[in-house]
Structure 1
Amino acid sequence: MQCKVLSVLLKEQGYRVFTANDGARGVAMYVKYKPDLVLMDINMPIMNGYEAARKIKSLSQDNSLCPLIFITSMDTDKAFIECVDAGGDGILVRPFSPEVFKAKIKSIQRISDLYGQVKILQQEQQKDAELAEQLMSGVIEARNFSLDRIGIIKRPAALFSGDIQLTALSPNGDVNVMLGDFTGHGLRSSIGAIPLAETFRAMTKKGFSLFEIINQINQKLYNLLPADLFLAAGFASISSHDKSVYVFNAGLPDAYLFSEQGKIKHQISSSHPPIGVLPKLLPDSKLTIYGIEESDRMVLISDGIVEARNEQGEMFDFDRFEQAAIHGVINHTVSESVLKAVNDFCQAMPQEDDISLIDIPCGGWEHILVASQGITNISADQLDDIYISKDPAWHWQLTLSGKRLASINPIPMAMNQINEIEGHADHWQSLYSILTELFVNALDHGVLGLSSNLKANADGFSQYYKERELRLGNLEHGFIDLQISHYPLLKGGRVMIKIQDSGQGFDIKKYYEKRVNKPTNKLELSGRGIELVEQLCDSLDFQDNGKVVEASYVWAS
């Protein structure tokens, strides 16, 4: 009788009503009809109301909220508590009036509707997060350089990772790498990923130094991100040319430089607050420089690795990481070895933070430049045009003096002008290398008076650049004048470069005699820049005891 009365009242509220005489039948009907509301008596045959309610709630976990109201005559605290424990969303104690029943149904339906709206919002948020993850993986990190050689672990704690790995190739052949860990994890933690990636790639492509890139990223994230959101990051630049790696650790766990045998050659701790915390990098901030061998490996990790926990609450920590990494270095499987070690240690424990690693080989990055060999395809008449032409299509000049030499890199500025006027072309990479080598030569050996003898071996590069930083910091006088002139040809062109510095010059004759008499089996780490420029240029001429250099770069379409 009670069931029929309630059915009538529910139909008056617009519901379609299905009834069952026992708990087991009620569960079966729930599975079949997926109702919007369930009314449940406590005392029923086969399966009582508590058991049926628990079964129904377990079946509805992945669906929208289905409110469940217990109808009972047991007006006791114990009955009320047991109804809630069984999953009941409400309880009605008989007897009650039709008006009270209808009011209860409206109230519980209002809650159900609100839950449905929240569910929709969650689904939309999930879609947004999935789209953002696709953007991160498909647009940002998929554009990374040399994914086939650089080992990467990326395992997010949530759908969207707050960690980001970036790799890019500089025009001079250096490989820039960054591992970043935004505060927390999830969608909010990665709102800076796109501007970070674009700044890193664009500045690397234009030839800015790693320190200039870090400084610009810091300013951009400081201005863009809220105060409680910042980026712990490790940066490394692998220079096969210099046989050196330049490292900057800002808030990440220690970075590692391994030998081929798995020996830890250097362990680089954080020396700066995370990126984006301060408006400017600390005044004494600088890159740390280490000499490298071809077979060395650089490894950067996020704190999600060393802070991973097992069931006993122990952290994975640095000792276990180092053991796994050493095993991986020896077997050329750093990423796989570290990830397996973390998985074996944590077992079924839920992941608390994003886990990331970058493993970079230090050798094999020698850059293949587009040399000016195309000049052999230029006709004799065109060669005459090259050297007879007196008026360039355009001329660009910049003079830097004093402290400006220590703070401004003119090469990206020059290359930006060339690309703006002439458009992008592959052979500009060779021109970038020529400009860089000649400018650095004028600054280091001319203005700063540094000796190439410091670079007699790989470790000497580190000493060389420490002395370079010291002299740049104390630089008050001196100048470098850079001039670029462009002469277009019918099929190709010529760029004339002239660089003058205020240094003491050098004995050009002695330099070339030393090169001629150098043993063929002896590896010289200094002087290779000039040899590279000679290979790329049509002509290279030192004047005024080396204080002026003129270079001609010619290419054919």
Structure 2
Amino acid sequence: MRPLSILAIDDDPLIGMLIAAYVQRLGHAVVHVLSGEQALLRYAEQAFDLVLVDRQMPGLDGLDTTRALREMQQARGWLPIIMLSGGTAIDEQVLALNAGCDDFIAKPINFQILEAKLNSFWRIARMQQQIAGQHQQLQHYASLEAEERRICSFLMERLLHREMLDSQHIKYLLQPAAEVSGDLLLACTSRNGDVYVMLADATGHGLPAALTLIPLSQAFYAMAAKGFQLDTIARELNHQHRSYSPSDRFVAATMARYNPYESSIEVWNGGLPPALLIDSQGQVLRSFRSHNLPLGILPSHEFICETETVQVAECSHLLLFSDGLIEAENPTAEPFGFAQLQQCVAAGAVADCLERVQAAVLKHLQGAIAHDDLSCLLLDCRAPAVSAGTQLEPAPAATTSGQVQSWEFNLCLQAEQLRRLDLEPLLTEFCNTLGLDPQRQGPFSLILRELITNAVDHGLLGLGSGLKDGPEGFERYVLARIERLEALTSGQIQLDICQVGSPQGNQLSIGVTDSGPGFDWPGLKNSTAAPSLYHGRGLQLVRRLSSRVEIHGRGNRVTALLCWDSIPGTKAAERFL
């Protein structure tokens, strides 16, 4: 046992000497003072483990001295005080305890009892010191955790890109179960005008869950801004999660891409409740259930992506929500439930459904704290199409002294590349590197996508546009395209892209040639897509964005030309709208 440092306070020098001699024989160190005033001075100068104080003393008596010592201990921590008194009445003991003493020993002192009490209080003091040390450690850990939460909250706030979520076409609800949310809501508009949204729900909640979402958000924004397909994005997110997160952590997610030009929406659901396509009155038009495993479970070579693509009617909305919303339990352990969510959505105008859902969940919880994050996102599928010439993504300057750079490249793609590559974002990014004029990036991406799609779908796969007729035609067309593309073993596409910059005028030429049999294009040359049809919008879009569209040969080569002035500041879009 470590020796104790003891302060003995007694105005009788003989008693003080007896106490000091006995305690020193036990191996402890003792300082004896004759008054309460001297005791306070010595206590302020030296740290003691225990105090023995006499009840009756001139000046400050034992009670007043005890009270003063307790005041001093508020800044130094608790240490035991034992009262020594010749009075054995119960009232005397009560007075001592109320003044702040921890125990009472009657005089004349029984030194065996004193030894036992010293040992007892030594054990208590040691435990008190251990508790104080543990408390200090806990405060240190709490401080570190608070700093980690602060940094993580800052990162998550930046990752949300609220300027995109605060779009007039997107509404959302995000209520974390902890200080940091394990749910993530993302939105991004690509350079070709498609709108991407994602709701991700990581395993658990709070800081550990939030950390696993950071690499996914960066990959999503980078790929969505360039217009990659949902299955390509899902594969990359799965790869990123397996690369940077523990094997026992996974992320359930739903992603959607809305194409305003085709009025279509594509959904990938991996482990979340079904996304709902609803009309203006909140009635469910389509449910997109989970057909995929959450991100991070399967390795890349086993990961399978299954998306659903449908044509959307006017005034449609897409609702995404996490399982924390429908599993929120009230004090009787009753979940909020999917049926109650549907009732809230259908109870009025769809534009206000999230406010109704939030109010209903709070009422259902009855003051209880939700055990999981609550999140949902509503996408208005009437987002305006991007006009030609609009630059959606900042691009590096591609001019020197105000003149557009000239460049050209030719590429031949075989069936194997056509099956596995997401061509349009890859080719657009390559052309940006070559020096594609920044003001032409949006129109270029749209035109290239439509020309490649037409060459593959109609030229190589032989898909007729009539497949899209009817309410379920678009789904039928997409399924047929997937089947035929997987079975494609021959055929090729030739790309000839050239940008010419000169003082007399700038020109961007996009030529796509397929090895298919062609089609009777003269009758299609001046056609436009009727609003009631589910096809023909692609060619109409290309003609709208281009200065001129040329169809050559048997209809298997199409060239789109974009021409604009070389004078800086000219509104180039007016030249080809």
- For normalisation by structure 2, the TM-score amounts to 0.77
Name 1:395's counterpart in structure 2.
Answer: 408
Letter in 2 for 1:13: A
Match status 1:267 vs 2:273: no
Residue equivalent to 1:488: 501
Cα displacement (A) at 1:212: 0.8
Cα shift readout 1:337-356 (whole Å, capped 9, x = no counterpart)? 11111110011212211111
Q: Which has the larger radius of gyration?
A: 2
Paired with 1:180 and 1:118, the residues of 2 have a C-alpha distance of 33
- State how many pairs are aligned: 499
Q: Which runs of 5+ in 2 are unaligned?
A: 1-6, 11-31, 33-38, 52-59, 84-89, 106-112, 392-402, 569-577
- Paired with 1:45 and 1:319, the residues of 2 have a C-alpha distance of 70
The residue number in structure 1 matching 2:328 is: 308
C-alpha contact (below 8 Å) 2:292/2:306 kept by paired residues: no
Kept in 2, the 8 Å contact 1:171–1:429? The answer is: yes
Q: Which residue of 2 aligns with 1:549?
A: 558
The aligned amino acid for 1:411 is: E
CA gap of 1:548–1:130, structure 2 versus 1, over 3 A, is same
Among all aligned residue pairs of Structure 1 and Structure 2, give the percentage whose two residues are the same amino acid: 28
Go from structure 1 to structure 2 and tell me whether the alpha carbon gap of 1:429 and 1:19 turns closer, same or farther (over 3 Å shift).
Answer: farther
Q: CA deviation at 1:126?
A: 0.8
Q: Does 1:343 align with 2:362?
A: yes
Alignment of 1:285-304 (within 5 A): 285-304=305-324
After superposing the two structures, state which structure 1 stretch, 2-11 or 429-438, moved more. 2-11
- Measured against aligned partners, the alpha-carbon deviations of 1:372-414 in whole angstroms (never above 9, x if no partner) come to 9xxxxxxxxxxxx99xxxxx93222222212321211222222
C-alpha distance in 2 between matches for 1:352 and 1:119 = 26
1:539 aligns with 2:553: no
* Aligned-residue CA RMSD (Å): 3.7
Amino acid in structure 2 at the alignment position of 1:555: W
Matched, 1:245 2:265: yes
User: Letter of the aligned partner of 2:543 in structure 1?
Assistant: E
Is 2:497 aligned against 1:466? no
Quick check: 1:71 aligned with 2:102? yes
**Following the alignment from structure 2 to structure 1, what is the Cα–Cα distance between the partners of residues 419 and 96?**
80
Change (3 A) 1:143 1:275: farther
Does structure 2 conserve the Cα–Cα contact (< 8 Å) formed by 1:500 and 1:547? yes
> 1:480 Cα deviation (Å)?
0.8
Give, as a single letter, the amino acid of the residue that structure 2 aligns with 1:363: R
Residue in 2 aligned with 1:414?
Answer: 427
Return the alpha-carbon distance in structure 2 between the equivalents of residues 465 and 362 of structure 1. 19
CA contact (8 A) 1:170 1:206 kept: yes
1:86 matched residue in structure 2: none
Distance 1:19 1:413 in 2: 89
CA distance 1:115–1:262, shift in 2 (3 Å): same
Higher RCO (C-alpha under 8 Å, 6+ residues apart): 1
Determine helix, strand or coil for the equivalent of 1:510.
coil
Distance 1:51 1:304, change over 3 A: farther
Please say which of residues 344-353 and 393-402 is displaced more in the overlay. 393-402
Superposed displacement of residue 121, structure 1:
2.1
> Given residue 122 of structure 1, which amino acid in structure 2 is its aligned partner?
A
Distance 1:27 1:495, change over 3 A: farther
Q: Distance in 1 between matches of 2:443 and 2:150?
A: 41
Provide Cα deviations, 1:487-509, integer angstroms capped at 9, x if missing partner: 12248732222111011111111
Q: 1:323-345 deviations in whole A, cap 9, x for unaligned?
A: 112225x2521221111111100
**Which residue in the other structure is 1:174 paired with?**
194
Query: What pairs up with 1:438-477 in 2 under 5 angstroms?
Result: 438-457=451-470, 459-477=472-490
TM-score with structure 1 length normalisation?
Answer: 0.80
SS of the residue 2:300 aligns to:
coil
SS in 2 for 1:545: coil
Q: Judge which range, 34-43 or 472-481, deviates more.
A: 34-43
Structure 1 unaligned residues grouped into runs of 5+ = 54-69, 75-92, 373-384, 387-391
Say whether the 8 Å CA contact 1:540–1:549 is kept in structure 2. yes
Quick one: which of 134, 140, 155 aligns to 1:120? 140
Q: CA deviation at 1:52?
A: 11
Q: Distance in 1 between matches of 2:211 and 2:284?
A: 35
Q: Does 1:211 align with 2:231?
A: yes
Instruction: Note closer, same or farther for the CA distance 1:212–1:20 as it changes in structure 2 (3 Å cut).
Output: farther
Letter in 2 for 1:437: E
**Cα distance in 1 between the residues matched to 2:48 and 2:514:** 90
Give the distance between the partners of 1:331 and 1:298, measured in 2 at CA: 10
Q: Which residue of 2 aligns with 1:79?
A: none
Is 1:13 equivalent to 2:53 in the alignment?
no
Separation (CA, whole Å) in 1 of partners of 2:139 and 2:344: 43
Alpha carbons of 1:490 and 1:338: their partners in 2 closer, same or farther (altered >3 Å)? same
